[in-house]
DNA sequence: CGCTATCTTGACAATCTTCAAGGCCTGTGG
DNA sequence: CCACAGGCCTTGAAGATTGTCAAGATAGCG
């Protein structure tokens, strides 16, 4: 692994990085940040631009420094399944060799930290703590994927919406028994995430609203009025 | 980590282990097998018995030495989603703390190698190569889960069956343009894996048979007659 | 040789999708 | 300032796929 320190402000990019505490990089102590800086370089991606294409050889790995992305798989006839959303601190790419399993597209302007495959390998060799964090992270993602498999394989449309609205990754603000959610994506993305159509998303939201369980003060804002009822719908308990 | 060598044939259990070459244990060299033996103990599980219960605290990890299992998640009203099948060499459990994300039930009599959470942690600390293998394994499982999310969210019943029959993990024997598959599970498990009902599984298999694409010489045996047609159904290309 | 599990097939019902039209919000240009 | 255009979202009606319920076939096993 070649150690090439950047010409100026060698450590600054990582020391002041907003994502450092949220990402697997936090396993690397301050005094070794030179290695991290040398292994990575930052790039920006405009909204709506793809930066990972399913099927391409996985030569690079990305750490999200700012912004968020949707991760999805596509079929030849245009159907697509969103397999997840990634925010600041998420790590994208495969550790094993092989093609990317999904595509990634920026939902808003993004800043990414890119590692080449060999550079990442070397980093993991040198900092086992980072490898452990990565293992924990991938394990957690696997558990989330399994939960989504239950949703996609066995839940009704109403149950999918209820589960989606209760996802802790969406949680923003709460006050008393009610919670205010901001949906950072259009209905089409919710539909592709839940394995249904945008019309069904719309219908189920209306149904929940008419039942007094939620309120929809704006297109992208949901107020949860009766969380317990939503939970009982999500789990069919 | 206490090192308690077993009373007799200290290394034999691992040296002669049928699963060793297929499992993450292969990262541990022969001369260090004492550590592996000390960290683990073998147990047997009869067919149809569960040995991991979703929601239980994940205190143990299992390596499959012999036999196979189905991994599934259940809902309160009995619906279940099989998230995968595990065979010899598979590693089950979470590396991170927390409850198990799924249940595991033996499909046939099994032999398992059990590691306690702290023992595994200590092993991974001592043998980074094993941790790397585990990371690669979990990453591959995540990619498989993502592929299954596409299937469950966006494919029709016919496409699901075609994809299932083409899954390389089912592959047994081939001769010329035809392949003979053995389905090691009943229709109900196929249904719970593909997110459909057993009646739909049966109907779609009959449909593929009437179309001349497959043959069903026995309940658990499928002969693939026209692989390319099956592939075009699976991918809608 | 019959018993019981599992599997297949059929008829009907429910859910979800598809197709279509209309509403709402936002930004832009007259 | 207002009108209009284009997204995005909602709602409705019709159709298709899949689920549910029920009955019958098949196969493995004592």
Contact B125 A124 (CB under 8 A): no
Question: Nearest Cβ partner of B235 from A76, A83, A150?
Answer: A76
| Strand D contact with A206 (CB < 7 A) | yes
B132:A131 CB<8 A: yes
Nearest to B142 among A79, A124, A145 (CB): A145
What per-residue string of b and e applies to B78-108 under the rule 16 or more CB within 10 Å gives b?
eebbbbbbbebbbbbbbbeeeebbbbbbbbe
User: Which residue in A75, A125, A146 is closest to B102 by CB distance?
Assistant: A146
Residue A237 has pLDDT above 50, yes or no: yes
C-beta atoms of A153 and B77 within 8 A:
no
Residue pLDDT, tens place only, A161-189: 999 999 988 876 555 567 899 999 999 99
A221 CB and strand D closer than 7 A: no
Question: Which pLDDT belongs to residue A176?
Answer: 55
- Check residue B184 and report its DSSP letter: -
Report the distance from CA of residue B190 to the C1' of nucleotide C2 in Å, as an integer. Answer: 30
Chain C bases near protein Cβ (<7 Å):
6-11, 15-20, 25
Q: How far, CA to CA in Å, does B162 sit from each of A63, A123, B111, B142, B209?
A: 36, 41, 32, 21, 12
Tokens of B228: 């390319």
The confidence band for A97, taking pLDDT boundaries of 50, 70 and 90, is: confident
What is the reported pLDDT for B113? Answer: 94
Query: Does the predicted model carry a pTM greater than 0.75?
Result: yes
User: In the structure, how far is the CA atom of residue A169 from the C1' atom of nucleotide C25, in angstroms?
Assistant: 28
**Residue A65, H or E segment:** strand A60-66
Interchain contact, A136 vs B237, CB within 8 Å: no
The tens place of each residue's pLDDT in chain B, 237 residues long, gives 444 444 445 556 788 888 888 999 999 998 988 888 888 899 999 999 999 999 999 999 999 999 999 999 999 999 999 999 999 999 998 777 789 999 999 999 999 999 998 999 999 999 999 999 999 999 999 999 999 999 999 999 999 999 999 998 887 655 555 788 999 999 999 999 999 999 999 999 999 999 999 999 999 999 999 999 999 999 875
Please give the pLDDT value at position B12.
65
Q: Name the most confidently modeled range: A6-20, A54-68, B18-32, B146-160.
A: B146-160
Smallest CA–CA distance, residue A98 to chain B, in Å, is 10
Q: Does the beta-carbon distance from A194 to B153 stay under 8 Å?
A: yes
Mean pLDDT (chain A, rounded): 89
Give the total residue count for chain B.
237
* Helices assigned H by DSSP within B16-113: 33-39
Pure H helices in chain B: 12-15, 33-39, 117-126, 128-154, 157-166, 187-194, 198-210, 227-235
Q: Provide the CA A56 to C1' D3 distance, Å, integer.
A: 48
Q: Which residues of B touch A141 (CB under 8 A)?
A: 142
**What's the Å distance between residue A195 CA and nucleotide C13 C1'?**
23
Query: Whole-angstrom Cα distance, residue B51 to residue B54?
Result: 10
């Amino acid at each position: 692994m070649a150690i090439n320190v950047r010409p100026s402000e060698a450590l600054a990019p990582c020391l002041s990085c907003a994502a450092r505490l949220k990402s697997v990089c936090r396993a690397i102590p301050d005094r070794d940040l030179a290695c991290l800086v040398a292994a990575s370089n930052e790039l920006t991606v405009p909204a709506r631009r793809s930066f990972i294409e399913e099927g391409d050889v996985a030569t690079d790995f990305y750490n999200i420094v700012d912004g968020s992305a949707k991760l999805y798989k596509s079929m030849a006839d245009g159907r697509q399944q969103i397999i997840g959303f990634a925010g600041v601190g998420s790590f994208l790419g495969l550790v094993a060799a092989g093609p990317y399993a999904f595509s990634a597209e920026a939902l808003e302007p993004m800043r990414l930290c890119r590692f080449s495959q060999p550079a990442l390998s070397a980093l993991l060799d040198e900092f086992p703590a980072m490898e452990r964090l990565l293992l924990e992270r991938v394990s957690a993602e696997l558990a989330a994927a399994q939960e989504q498999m239950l949703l996609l394989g066995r839940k009704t449309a109403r149950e999918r919406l209820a589960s989606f609205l209760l996802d802790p990754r969406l949680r923003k603000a709460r006050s008393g028994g009610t919670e205010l959610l901001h949906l950072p994506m259009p209905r089409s993305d919710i539909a592709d995430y839940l394995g249904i159509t945008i019309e069904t998303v719309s219908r189920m939201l209306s149904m929940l609203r008419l039942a007094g369980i939620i309120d929809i003060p704006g297109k992208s804002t949901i107020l949860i009025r009766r969380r317990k009822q939503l939970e009982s719908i999500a789990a069919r308990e």
